[in-house]
C-alpha cells in the first residue's frame, strides 16, 4: 500500500509563505509610488526612471553575491538581513526632500529585495517534501502574484486619498511583519555550502543562461511599464 504523501503545509512552510506575502506587499506598494514621488520632489520623469533603475541595479548586484553569502552565513541570517533592509529604509522616504535621498533609500531597499527573492525560492524547496515541491512552488507563486495584482493600484489610490506618508508607512511595515513571520521557520537545512557554483560559473551553463536572458527581458519590460 502506497504511503500517504507527507504534509506540505507545515508550520515552517506557512511561516515562509506568510513572510513572502508580507514582503511582496511592501515591495509592490512602493513599486509605482517611489517613481511618482521622485517626480513630485523635482526629479521629473528622469528622476522617476532613476528610482526604478537604482532599485533594480542594487537588486541584481545583491543577487550575484548570494551564493557567497549563503555559503558563509546560511539561509536564516541572510534572509533576516534582507527583510530588514527591504523594510526599515522605506520609512525614510517620508523625510526625503530631494532625489539623492530617494535614490539612497531605494538602493538600500533593492539590496533587501535581491536577498529575499533568492532566499525565499531556495527555502521553499528545502521545506517541501521532495514529491510535493511543485505544489510548494505553486503556493510560492501565489504569494508573489497576489500583491502584484492588488497593491500597485491600491498604493496609487492611497496616494490620492491620504498622501504619500501612508504608503511609505505600509510599505516599510509589511516586510517587518514578514520578519516576524520569519521566526516561525525553525531550522532550515542547507544554505551553508562551499562547493556550489558561483554566479558567473552558473551563467556559463547554457540552459541556465537562457533562463536568465528570458527573465531579464521580462523584468526589463515590466520595469518600463510600471515606471
- Same domain? For 116 and 157 the reply is yes
Cα–Cα–Cα angle for 136, 140, 146, nearest 5°? 140
pLDDT of the residue at 44:
87
In-domain check, residue 119 = yes
- Same domain? For 76 and 163 the reply is yes
- Same domain? For 23 and 129 the reply is yes
- In whole angstroms, give the CA distance from residue 137 to residue 58: 25
- Same domain? For 154 and 206 the reply is no
- In whole angstroms, give the CA distance from residue 186 to residue 15: 9
In-domain check, residue 4 = no
CB atoms within 10 A of CB 17: 20
CB atoms within 10 A of CB 125: 13
- In whole angstroms, give the CA distance from residue 109 to residue 59: 8
Q: DSSP letters of 64-119?
A: HTHHHHHHHH-HHHHHHHHHHHHHGGGGGGGG--SHHHHHHHHHHHHHHHHHHHHH
CB atoms within 10 A of CB 72: 13
Overall number of domains in the chain: 2
- In whole angstroms, give the CA distance from residue 197 to residue 203: 10
pLDDT of the residue at 2:
45
Q: Are 14 and 22 in contact (CB under 8 A)?
A: no
Judge if pTM exceeds 0.85. no
CB atoms within 10 A of CB 8: 16
pLDDT of the residue at 202:
56
pLDDT of the residue at 171:
96
Cα–Cα–Cα angle for 185, 57, 32, nearest 5°? 80
In-domain check, residue 23 = yes
**For every one of its 227 residues, what pLDDT tens digit does the chain have, with 9 covering 90 and above?**
344 457 888 888 888 899 999 999 999 999 989 999 999 988 888 898 899 889 999 998 998 889 889 989 888 899 999 999 999 999 999 999 889 999 999 999 999 999 999 999 888 888 888 888 888 888 888 999 999 899 999 999 999 999 999 999 999 999 999 998 877 777 665 555 545 555 556 556 666 667 667 766 776 666 666 55
As given in the structure block, the three cell numbers for residue 163 are: 498622501
pLDDT of the residue at 188:
66
pLDDT of the residue at 6:
77
Q: Where are the beta strands (DSSP E) in the chain?
A: none
CATH number for 168:
1.20.1250.20
pLDDT of the residue at 84:
96
- In whole angstroms, give the CA distance from residue 175 to residue 178: 5
Q: Which domain holds residue 83?
A: 11-182
pLDDT of the residue at 3:
44
Name residue, grid cell 551553508: 192
- In whole angstroms, give the CA distance from residue 102 to residue 79: 24
CB atoms within 10 A of CB 39: 18
- Same domain? For 120 and 163 the reply is yes
- In whole angstroms, give the CA distance from residue 113 to residue 40: 24
- Same domain? For 108 and 218 the reply is no
pLDDT of the residue at 205:
62
Amino acid at each position: 500500500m502506497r504511503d500517504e504523501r507527507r504534509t506540505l503545509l507545515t508550520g515552517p512552510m506557512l511561516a515562509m509563505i506568510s513572510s513572502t506575502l508580507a514582503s511582496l506587499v511592501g515591495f509592490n506598494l512602493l513599486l509605482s509610488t517611489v517613481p511618482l514621488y521622485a517626480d513630485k520632489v523635482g526629479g521629473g520623469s528622469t528622476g522617476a526612471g532613476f528610482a526604478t533603475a537604482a532599485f533594480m541595479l542594487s537588486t541584481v548586484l545583491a543577487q550575484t553575491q548570494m551564493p557567497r553569502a549563503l555559503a558563509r552565513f546560511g539561509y536564516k541570517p541572510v534572509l533576516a538581513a534582507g527583510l530588514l533592509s527591504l523594510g526599515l529604509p522605506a520609512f525614510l522616504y517620508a523625510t526625503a526632500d530631494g532625489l539623492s535621498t530617494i535614490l539612497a533609500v531605494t538602493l538600500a531597499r533593492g539590496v533587501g529585495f535581491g536577498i529575499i527573492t533568492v532566499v525565499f525560492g531556495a527555502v521553499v524547496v528545502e521545506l517541501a517534501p521532495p514529491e510535493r515541491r511543485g505544489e510548494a512552488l505553486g503556493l510560492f507563486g501565489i504569494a508573489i502574484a497576489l500583491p502584484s495584482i492588488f497593491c500597485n493600484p491600491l498604493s496609487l489610490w492611497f496616494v490620492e486619498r491620504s498622501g504619500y506618508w501612508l504608503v511609505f508607512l505600509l510599505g516599510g511595515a509589511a516586510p517587518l511583519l514578514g520578519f516576524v513571520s520569519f521566526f516561525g521557520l525553525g531550522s532550515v537545512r542547507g544554505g551553508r555550502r562551499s562547493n556550489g557554483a558561483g554566479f558567473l560559473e552558473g551563467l556559463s551553463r547554457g540552459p541556465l543562461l537562457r533562463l536568465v536572458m528570458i527573465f531579464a527581458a521580462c523584468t526589463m519590460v515590466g520595469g518600463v511599464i510600471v515606471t
